[in-house]
Structure 1
Amino acid sequence: MTDVFRATVEELAGQVDQQVRRVREAYQALNAIESTMTSSDGMIQVTVGPQGQVRSIDLNARVYRRLSTAELADTLMRQINRATADVTERRRRLMEPLMPEGLPYEQVFGEDVTLDAFLPPPVDAGA
């Protein structure tokens, strides 16, 4: 191998190693994300994990005397939605810098993801 070729290969290998390291660090950070939200009156606290799963719900013992079942359900859903939105935003901020240029985060991780983001456009057989 020529010295220029060897230097180029070593540089590219270093870039790949650096990118792999960044992805591993991001993956570890993704798994550690969680969000806890507390209602304004302090009666309800909800914790959501990295995939948006509810990990815990803590209710103040007095919540049953202060809120109707409909109010309790509404407050629980508001806290779950707030925590889930926070986790989603933190995941986006963590992953967006690792996305290939020109590939929007939402196209890969958004709500309306399709297989199209990962495949080339269909070939027109009649052309």
Structure 2
Amino acid sequence: MASDEQWRLLEQLVQEVDQQTEQLRRMQERMRDLSATATSKDGMVTVTVGPRGEVRTIDLDPRVYRKLSPSELSDTIVAQIGDATRQVSGELKELMAPLVPDLPFEDLFGDGTGFESFLPRPGTS
């Protein structure tokens, strides 16, 4: 039969697991809601991406068609997607840091591998 101290330890363990589960649930919600927005220097192109670098919106100033050639517009859009993806990757890394503070990525996955290796890359989703 378990002693009172063993029951208290078990209850404490269950509370800790419940707290960690709730913390993970809140973190998942925050991760799902993450986004970043990048705007070109001239203000003509604004892009918003989600947590995996997926493009959510592209806003173009109506004057963009008179100011930029099609290839310049394309390059500007791609650049803003890259900037926004880097921003959201940084936010995701910051959010995840408490969960994986000292994980030896290079030991597990090879030289040059860090937490950033698992984040979205600019221009990919």
User: Relative to 1, partners in 2 of residues 1:9 and 1:101: Cα closer, same or farther, differing over 3 Å?
Assistant: farther
For the residues of structure 2 that align with 1:36 and 1:99, how far apart are their CA atoms?
26
1:7 is displaced (CA, Å) by 1.3
Query: What does 1:17-56 correspond to in 2, within 5 Å?
Result: 17-56=18-57
Corresponding position of 2:69: 68
Q: Which runs of 4+ in 1 moved over 2 A?
A: 99-105, 107-111
Identity, in percent, stands at 41
Count of aligned positions: 111
Conserved? CA contact 1:37–1:83, under 8 Å: yes
Structure 2: 5+ residue runs without aligned partners? Answer: 106-113, 121-125
1:4 is displaced (CA, Å) by 1.4
1:3 is displaced (CA, Å) by 1.3
Structure with greater contact order relative to length (CA < 8 Å, sep ≥ 6): 2
Larger-gyration structure (1/2): 1
Letter of the 2:38 counterpart: M
Conserved? CA contact 2:38–2:81, under 8 Å: yes
Corresponding position of 2:118: 109
Corresponding position of 1:16: 17
TM-score (norm 1): 0.78
Deviations 1:95-127 (A, max 9, x none): 12123753546288357xxxxxxxxxxxxxxxx
Structure 1: 5+ residue runs without aligned partners? Answer: 112-127
For the residues of structure 2 that align with 1:63 and 1:107, how far apart are their CA atoms?
34
Corresponding position of 1:89: 90
TM-score (norm 2): 0.79
